[in-house]
Amino acid sequence: MTTQTSISPRAWAEMALLALIWGASFLSIRVALDEVPVLTVVAFRVGGAAAVLWLYVLARGLPVPRGLRLWGVFAVRGLLNNILPFSLITWGQLHIASGLASILNAATAIFGVAIAALVFADERLTFRKGLGVLLGFLGVATAVGLQNLTRFDLTSMAQWALIGASLCYGLSSSWARAFLKGVTPQVATAGMLTMSALVMIPLALWQDGAPPLGYSPAAWSALAYLALAASATAYLLYYRVLAAAGAGNLSFVTLLVSPVAILLGALVLGEQLRPQAYFGFALLALGLVILDGRAWSRLRQNLRPVQDPPSAG
C-alpha cells in the first residue's frame, strides 16, 4: 500500500503563516479596488512579485531554466494559479459580499483534496480526510455567517467566478506537484509569476490604460502588500509546504484564510466578533485536528476492542 502524505508540525506552522498573509490580502484587494482597476491590480501584483523574485534568484546565483518545456509548465501554472484566480477573485469582490466570497474561496480545500486524490496515489481520499474538510468548511461558513449561503445564486456570474478561482487553485497545486519536482521554490515562483506578468501587463495596459502615479498612499501600500507579501513571499512558503505535505493537504490553508480575515477585521478595523464566529472557529479547529491525523489515530486505537490474553495450556 502506498504511504499516504501527512502534515508535520512545521508544515502546519507554515500553513498558518500563509493563512495570515493571504487573509490580509482580501483587505488589501478591497483597498486597492477603490482606486485601481481590476486588471491593473493583478498586473501590479504579478509584475512586482516577479521583479523582486528575479532579483533574489540572480543575487543567489540560482540556475535560470533554459528548456521550453519547463517554461511551458510555468505558463500553465501561472494561468491556473495567478491569471485566472487573481482576476476572478478581484472582479468577484466588486459584485458580492465579502462573507460569501470567503466561503466560496474556502471551497479550494474541497477541490484540492478531490483533484489530488484522483491524481496521486499517496493522497487518496479517506473518510478521515473527507470528514475533516467538511467540518472545516462548515466552520468557515459558520464563522463568516451561515446566512451568506442563502445568498448563493446560480445565475450570479460573480459567485461562479469565485468558484472558478477555487477550482483553478485546486488544479494548480496538483499541476505544480506533478511537473515542478526538483525546481527550487524561488525559481519556480519567479517563472510562474513571469509568465503571468507577460500576459497581465499588456492586457491591463490595453484594457485600463497606463496607470497614473497619483494613487493614494493607502492604494500604493495595498498594491505593494499584494506583490511583495501575498505573492512573492507567500509562494516561497507555498512551495515548501507543497513539497513536504502534498497538493491536497496544502489546500487546507484556504480553510484558515477566512477566520484570519475575520480576526484581522476585529483587531485592525474594530469589527465586532459575533458569538457564531467562536462556534465556527471551534468547528474549524475540530476539522483541522481530524485532518492532522494523529489525534484521529489515537482515538481509533482507543476504540479498538481489547483482546483477551490467550489462556494457558
- Domain count along the chain: 1
* Residue 226 contacts residue 46 (beta carbons within 8 Å): no
Whether 313 shows a pLDDT value over 50: the answer reads: no
* Strand locations in the chain (E): none
Whether 306 shows a pLDDT value over 60: the answer reads: no
In a domain, residue 304? The reply is no
Q: Poorest-confidence range of 50-54, 116-120, 196-200, 282-286?
A: 282-286
- Domain limits at 216? 9-299
Q: What percent of the chain clears pLDDT 70, i.e. is strictly above it?
A: 81
Nearest residue to 26 via CA among 261, 239, 245: 261
**Helix/strand/coil (H/E/C) assignment for every residue in 161-209:** HHHHHHHHHHHHHHHHHHHCCCCCHHHHHHHHHHHHHHHHHHHHHHHHC
In a domain, residue 212? The reply is yes
Per the structure block, which three cell numbers stand in for 284?
A: 474549524
Nearest residue to 164 via CA among 88, 52, 247: 88
In a domain, residue 2? The reply is no
pTM over 0.85: no
In a domain, residue 313? The reply is no
Mean pLDDT, rounded, for 203-232: 94
Mean pLDDT, rounded, for 90-103: 74
Per the structure block, which three cell numbers stand in for 268?
A: 485592525
Convert the pLDDT of each residue in 20-50 to its tens digit. 898 888 778 888 989 999 899 999 999 999 9
In a domain, residue 311? The reply is no
N-terminal to C-terminal alpha carbon distance within the chain: 38
Which residues, including other chains, have CB under 8 Å from residue 270's CB and lie 6 or more apart?
none
In a domain, residue 309? The reply is no
In a domain, residue 186? The reply is yes
Convert the pLDDT of each residue in 42-86 to its tens digit. 999 999 999 999 998 999 898 888 889 999 999 999 999 999 988
Amino acid letter for position 131: L
Convert the pLDDT of each residue in 126-176 to its tens digit. 787 788 778 877 877 777 677 666 666 666 788 888 889 889 988 998 898
Q: Poorest-confidence range of 78-92, 117-131, 185-199?
A: 117-131
Confidence grade of residue 3 (pLDDT, cut at 50, 70, 90): low
Distances (CA, A) of 246 to 106, 170, 172, 238, 251: 18, 12, 12, 11, 9
Mean pLDDT, rounded, for 238-245: 78
Per the structure block, which three cell numbers stand in for 89?
A: 477573485
pLDDT averaged over the chain? Answer: 81
In a domain, residue 157? The reply is yes
Confidence grade of residue 243 (pLDDT, cut at 50, 70, 90): confident
